Amino acid sequence: MKFLYAIQRYDIIVFMRFINVCLYEPLYKLCRMISKTGDGHLYVLFFLGITWQDGIICEFSQVVISAFLMERSLYYVLKNSLKRNRPQAALNNFQSFIVPQDQFSFPSGHTSAAFMMATLCSEFWPLFAFPLYSWSACVGFSRVLLGVHFPSDVVIGAAMGTSIAYLSLHLLAL
């Protein structure tokens, strides 16, 4: 229990330092734009574009469907069983910059999905690995700066998304 308390204390210290950075209006707007790219709409458009181009469900489409089924299931189970409060509910006199889509904080679903897609796309198109991982890191960082996640939510979300992507690739033997 002391270990979890230490993580929570460290999370709050790091979180408050990040939040102080986001008090600048232009940075808030940039974070909001970046965060919106992780809402899921781009994944659907990209997926449909790849499927449309190939005309059939290609290997990439199969691995994305498999990975998303695993990622969303694990995300839902963890979030609703661990029930970690978001910063706004956990910290006195703190108001997040946006209204989160759900009640609980751990893990970050935006970050998990972004890292999962970055990993999958990087396996199929290695040339784009650096921009994809940079984008997914920015999605996670923006979630902290917007005040809806603690840093550990994002770190675990990134690890979860990356792990699920590799698991999906392994299970489909790609």
CATH code assigned at 66 = 1.20.144.10
Per-residue pLDDT of the chain (174 residues; tens, 9 = 90+): 676 677 778 777 777 777 766 556 677 788 788 888 888 878 777 777 766 665 545 778 888 889 999 999 999 999 888 888 788 877 778 777 777 777 888 899 999 999 999 999 999 889 999 999 999 999 999 988 888 888 899 999 999 999 999 999 998 875
Closest CA relative to residue 174, chosen from 42, 71, 69, 66: 66
In this prediction the pTM is: 0.84
* Rounded CA separation 78/24 (Å): 33
Burial 35-55 (b: 16+ CB within 10 A, else e): bebbeeeebeeebeebeeeee
Provide the residue range defining the domain that includes 83. Answer: 2-171
Provide the number of structural domains found in the chain: 1
Q: In this structure, what DSSP letter does residue 147 have? A: T
What the block records as the tokens of 151 is 């840093």
